[in-house]
């Protein structure tokens, strides 16, 4: 069986990205692309148009991912949705302003930053262990169904981080080592149960005007 080439794209910029304390916790909360995010998706589309054809385009069902996929890859056919590609569910704090979450859940905020508990979860939310299992199952199913194909997968930083963490033996709670930028491409060759990283967080298609501060 030939490997499947997965082009893992993080969605474009939204109000949930950046350093603003008023930005929402963007887990399953459906924060849309902002103007910068749409520009980034267009740049991603130009990058993809310069490469080999895509055999499929698959996206998280959250609008920031779906809209990125539609803007970037509409010429390659319909965008198929896969629920396993959602960002981590943050439960009761999902959608709340970051500053408010820090103030009301200070101990949990610090525990999350330590990145040492695979079973950490926000109240009513999803644990990192559960997120890892969901994400890895999703990409395995996509790759198994499409051997030898080139597939664009538009998803979220947390999902891409968990997929690469699994490939490199990094525990689920360690969400920071493989955190890609908005509208970046991460290329993975996947065969059977395992993937091999070809390129991480490729932003060559993004100009200075489409790179957010610090991004």
pLDDT band at 199 (very low <50, low <70, confident <90, very high): very high
pLDDT on residue 215:
44
pLDDT on residue 212:
64
pLDDT on residue 181:
96
> Which pLDDT tens digit goes with each residue over 2-35?
999 999 999 999 988 877 778 899 899 999 999 9
pLDDT on residue 113:
96
pLDDT on residue 21:
74
Domains of the chain: 4-210 (3.40.50.1240)
Global pTM?
A: 0.95
Q: Is 70 exceeded by the pLDDT of residue 177?
A: yes
Task: Report how far residue 187's alpha carbon sits from residue 195's, in angstroms, rounded to the nearest whole number.
Answer: 10
Quick one: average pLDDT of 96-117?
A: 96
Quick one: average pLDDT of 52-58?
A: 97
Catalytic residues: 11, 87
pLDDT band at 214 (very low <50, low <70, confident <90, very high): very low
Annotated binding site for substrate: 10-17, 64
As given in the structure block, the two tokens for residue 30 are 């459906």
Phi, psi of 166 (to 5 degrees): -60, -40
> Which pLDDT tens digit goes with each residue over 125-159?
999 999 999 999 999 999 999 999 999 999 999 99
Annotated binding site: 10-17, 64
pLDDT band at 213 (very low <50, low <70, confident <90, very high): low
- Beta-carbon contacts of 154 under 8 Å, excluding residues fewer than 6 positions away, are 9, 10, 11, 57, 58, 59, 60, 65, 66, 68, 69, 72, 73, 79, 85
pLDDT on residue 139:
98
- Residues 56, 146: contact at Cβ < 8 Å? yes
| Alpha helices for the chain (secondary structure H) | 35-49, 63-73, 98-104, 106-114, 128-145, 157-168
């Amino acid at each position: 069986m030939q490997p499947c080439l997965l082009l893992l794209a993080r969605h474009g910029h939204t109000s949930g990205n950046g350093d603003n304390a008023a930005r929402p916790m963007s887990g399953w909360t459906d924060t849309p692309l902002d103007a910068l995010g749409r520009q980034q998706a267009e740049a991603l589309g130009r990058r993809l148009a310069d490469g080999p054809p895509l055999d499929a385009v698959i996206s998280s069902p959250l609008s920031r991912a779906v809209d990125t996929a539609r803007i970037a890859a509409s010429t390659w056919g319909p965008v198929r949705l896969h629920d396993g590609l959602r960002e981590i569910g943050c439960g009761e704090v999902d959608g709340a302003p970051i500053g408010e979450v820090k103030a009301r859940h200070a101990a949990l905020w610090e525990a999350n930053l330590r990145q040492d508990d695979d079973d950490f979860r926000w109240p009513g939310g999803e644990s990192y262990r559960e997120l890892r299992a969901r994400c890895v199952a999703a990409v395995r199913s996509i790759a198994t169904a499409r051997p030898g194909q080139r597939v664009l997968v538009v998803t979220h930083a947390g999902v891409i981080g968990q997929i690469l963490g699994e490939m490199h033996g990094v525990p689920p709670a360690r969400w920071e080592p493989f955190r890609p930028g908005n509208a970046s491409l991460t290329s993975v060759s996947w065969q059977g149960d395992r993937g091999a990283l070809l390129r991480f967080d490729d932003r060559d298609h993004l100009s200075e005007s489409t790179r957010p501060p610090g991004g």
